[in-house]
Chains A and B, each alone.
Chain A
Amino acid sequence: MLEESKNPFVASSNRQKIIDRVWSVIFAGFTYFVLACALFIFGKITYDGAPVLFQAEAPFINFDFLFTSPQTLVEFRDGAGELVRMDASDFRSFKEENPDAVIRDEHTFSYSGGGILGPLVGTALLVIVCMIVSLFIGVSAAVYLNEYAHHGKLVGAIRLAIMNLAGVPSIVYGLFGFAFFCLAPWFPVLTYEVNPETSVFAFKVPMSKGFLSFEGWGNSLIAGGLTLAVMALPVIIAACEESLKAVPKGFREASLALGATKWQMIRTAVLPYATPGMLTASVLGVTRVAGETAPIMFTAAVADKAKLPWQEAEGSPLFWFSDLLTQSVQALPYHIYTVSARIPDADAVRDMRYGSVFVFLLLVMGFAMISIVMRARFRSKLKW
Chain B
Amino acid sequence: MAKHFQRTGRKLLGIDRQGWIKGFFGGNATLSIIILFLICFFLITEAVRFFPQHHEKLQLHRKSGQEYVNHIITEMNEYSQLVSLTNQAYFQELNEKYALQRGISNSFEAFLDPLEDDGEDLIEALEDAEDDPEALAQAQADWRAFVSGVVEGANRADIDSFGRLDDASWAALKKAMIDYDPVEEEPPAYVTQAQQELRDGMARFEEAKNEISSAGRELKQLRQKLVKIASKVKDDAAAEESAAERKKALLAGAETMTNEAEKAAQIEQANAIVIRDEFPFAARTEEIAASKDAHKAAVAELKEKLGIAVAKLPTELSSEEASALLDQVRKAHPPFVKWLDESVAKASTWQWDRKLSFFGSAMKFFFGVDWVTNSSWHDFYGLLPLFIGSFEISLIAIMFAVPFSIGAAIYVNRLAGRWEQTLIKPAIELIQAIPSVVLGFFGIVVLGEGLRDLSQIEALSWVPGFPMQERLNVLNAGLLLALMAVPTIFTLCEDALNNVPRAYSEASLALGASKLQTVIKVIVPTAISGILAAVLLGFGRVIGETMVVLLVAGNKIALPDWSAGLGVITQPTHTMTGIIAQEMGEVTKGTLHFRALFLVGLVLFTISLCINVAAQRIIKRLGHA
Task: Provide the bound-state CA to CA distance between A161 and B34, in Å.
Answer: 9
Interface flag for B424 (CB, 8 Å): yes
Interface flag for A357 (CB, 8 Å): yes
Interface flag for A154 (CB, 8 Å): yes
Q: Are B547 and A172 in contact (CB under 8 A)?
A: no
A49–chain B nearest beta-carbon distance, Å? 10
Q: Which of B30, B546, B550, B608 is the one whose CB lies under 8 Å from A167?
A: B608
Q: Which residues of B contact A353 (CB under 8 A)?
A: 441, 445
Q: Are B26 and A368 in contact (CB under 8 A)?
A: no
Given A44-B446, A167-B537, does the pair A263, B21 have CB atoms closer than 8 Å? yes
Task: Provide the bound-state CA to CA distance between A353 and B432, in Å.
Answer: 22
Q: Which residues of A contact B371 (CB under 8 A)?
A: none
Q: Which residues of B contact A262 (CB under 8 A)?
A: 18, 21-22
Q: Are A357 and B438 in contact (CB under 8 A)?
A: yes
Q: Which of B33, B426, B580 is the one whose CB lies under 8 Å from A157?
A: B33
Interface flag for A170 (CB, 8 Å): yes
Question: Which of B21, B39, B410 has most chain A Cβ within 10 Å?
Answer: B39
What interface size band does chain A fall in?
35 or more
Q: Which residues of A contact B259 (CB under 8 A)?
A: none
Given A19-B516, A154-B30, does the pair A30, B407 have CB atoms closer than 8 Å? yes
Q: Which residues of A contact B123 (CB under 8 A)?
A: none
Q: Which residues of B contact A35 (CB under 8 A)?
A: 424, 427-428, 431
Q: Could you give, for residues 8-32 of chain B, a 1 whenever the CB lies within 8 Å of some chain A CB and a 0 otherwise?
A: 0000000001100110111111111
Q: Could you give, for residues 428-441 of chain B, a 1 whenever the CB lies within 8 Å of some chain A CB and a 0 otherwise?
A: 11111111111111
Q: Are B42 and A140 in contact (CB under 8 A)?
A: no
Q: Which residues of A contact B27 (CB under 8 A)?
A: 140
Q: Which residues of A contact B432 (CB under 8 A)?
A: 288
Q: Could you give, for residues 411-451 of chain B, a 1 whenever the CB lies within 8 Å of some chain A CB and a 0 otherwise?
A: 11001100000001011111111111111111011100000
Q: Are A175 and B580 in contact (CB under 8 A)?
A: yes
Chain B: CB-nearest residue to A334: B437
Chain A: CB-nearest residue to B555: A341
List A residues 147-201 near B (Cβ within 8 Å). Answer: 147-149, 154, 157-158, 161-176, 178-180, 183
Given A20-B515, A140-B24, does the pair A164, B36 have CB atoms closer than 8 Å? yes
A216–chain B nearest beta-carbon distance, Å? 10
Q: Which residues of A contact B589 (CB under 8 A)?
A: 183
Interface flag for B267 (CB, 8 Å): no
Q: Are B581 and A169 in contact (CB under 8 A)?
A: no
A163–chain B nearest beta-carbon distance, Å? 7
Q: Which residues of B contact A115 (CB under 8 A)?
A: none
Chain A: CB-nearest residue to B585: A298
Q: Are A158 and B33 in contact (CB under 8 A)?
A: yes
Q: Are A179 and B42 in contact (CB under 8 A)?
A: yes
Task: Provide the bound-state CA to CA distance between A17 and B438, in Å.
Answer: 43
Interface flag for B348 (CB, 8 Å): no
Task: Provide the bound-state CA to CA distance between A142 and B262, in Å.
Answer: 67
Interface flag for B609 (CB, 8 Å): yes
Q: Are A34 and B486 in contact (CB under 8 A)?
A: yes
Chain B contact surface mostly: helix
Given A27-B407, A340-B551, does the pair A145, B18 have CB atoms closer than 8 Å? no
Q: Which listed segment binds B: A53-61, A85-93, A103-111, A229-237?
A: A229-237
Q: Which residues of B contact A149 (CB under 8 A)?
A: 26, 29
Interface flag for B340 (CB, 8 Å): no
Question: Which of B436, B547, B577 has most chain A Cβ within 10 Å?
Answer: B547
Task: Provide the bound-state CA to CA distance between A147 and B22, in Å.
Answer: 9
Q: Are A144 and B441 in contact (CB under 8 A)?
A: no
Interface flag for B611 (CB, 8 Å): yes
B208–chain A nearest beta-carbon distance, Å? 38
Q: Which residues of A contact B469 (CB under 8 A)?
A: none
Task: Provide the bound-state CA to CA distance between A274 and B412, in Å.
Answer: 29
Task: Provide the bound-state CA to CA distance between A167 and B616, in Å.
Answer: 12
Q: Which of B32, B441, B483, B516 is the one whose CB lies under 8 Å from A357?
A: B441
Given A23-B516, A41-B434, A369-B430, does the pair A171, B577 have CB atoms closer than 8 Å? yes
Q: Are A178 and B411 in contact (CB under 8 A)?
A: no
List A residues 357-384 near B (Cβ within 8 Å). Answer: 357, 360-361, 364-365, 368-369, 372-373, 376
Given A16-B517, A361-B434, does the pair A141, B546 have CB atoms closer than 8 Å? no
Given A26-B407, A178-B584, does the pair A161, B25 have CB atoms closer than 8 Å? no
Task: Provide the bound-state CA to CA distance between A259 and B118, in Å.
Answer: 104
Task: Provide the bound-state CA to CA distance between A333 and B540, in Å.
Answer: 23
Interface flag for A275 (CB, 8 Å): no
Q: Could you give, for residues 269-303 of chain A, a 1 whenever the CB lies within 8 Å of some chain B CB and a 0 otherwise?
A: 00000000000000010011001111001100000
Question: Which of A172, A287, A341 has most chain B Cβ within 10 Å?
Answer: A172
A156–chain B nearest beta-carbon distance, Å? 11
Q: Which of B404, B514, B605, B612 is the one whose CB lies under 8 Å from A33?
A: B404
Interface flag for B90 (CB, 8 Å): no
A-B contact pairs, 6 of them (CB 8 A): A31-B412, A148-B25, A167-B608, A172-B601, A291-B435, A297-B581
B positions within 8 Å CB-CB of A = 17-18, 21-22, 24-33, 35-36, 38-39, 42-43, 46, 403-405, 407-408, 410-412, 415-416, 424, 426-442, 444-446, 483, 486, 514-517, 537, 540-541, 543-547, 550-551, 577, 580-581, 584-585, 589, 597-598, 601, 604-605, 608-609, 611-613, 616
A positions within 8 Å CB-CB of B = 16-17, 19-20, 23-24, 26-28, 30-31, 33-35, 37-38, 41, 44-45, 136-137, 140-141, 143-145, 147-149, 154, 157-158, 161-176, 178-180, 183, 230, 233-234, 237, 261-263, 284, 287-288, 291-294, 297-298, 333, 336-337, 340-341, 353, 357, 360-361, 364-365, 368-369, 372-373, 376
Which 5 A-B residue pairs are closest in the complex by CB-CB distance? Answer: A169-B544, A291-B435, A30-B407, A140-B28, A144-B25
